[in-house]
């Protein structure tokens, strides 16, 4: 039996790191999506205030298996 995989695009941010932003994206998506299998970081950006990074931002694709 073959599996059907769906991909959604999400955005997330963190004041710690891009990795933390990715984890936040997965954590939030898992509240309404089951069977998450992977995350692909499509884009990274950061907000800078007074010469310092204050927010790490990602745009990501999250893949999950449809039951």
CATH at 38: 3.30.1660.10
Q: What is the pLDDT of residue 2?
A: 81
Number of domains in the chain: 1
**55 has which bridge partners?**
47
* Beta-sheet strand order (sheet of 52-66): 4-14, 52-66, 36-49
Tokens of 52: 């310092």
> What is the residue range of 55's domain?
4-66
8 Å CB contact between 57 and 11: yes
pTM of the model: 0.89
Give one word for 55, left, alpha or beta, with left for phi > 0 and alpha for psi -120 to 50: beta
State pLDDT tens for residues 12-67. Answer: 999 999 999 999 999 999 999 999 999 999 999 999 999 999 999 999 999 999 98
pLDDT of residue 1 exceeding 70: no
> 45: which 2 tokens?
């950006």
């Amino acid at each position: 039996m073959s599996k059907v995989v769906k991909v959604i695009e999400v955005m997330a941010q963190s004041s710690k790191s891009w990795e933390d932003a990715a984890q936040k994206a997965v954590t939030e998506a898992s509240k309404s999506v089951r069977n998450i299998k992977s995350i692909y970081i499509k884009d990274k950006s950061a907000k800078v205030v007074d010469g310092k990074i204050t927010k790490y931002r990602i745009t990501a694709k999250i893949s999950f298996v449809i039951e």
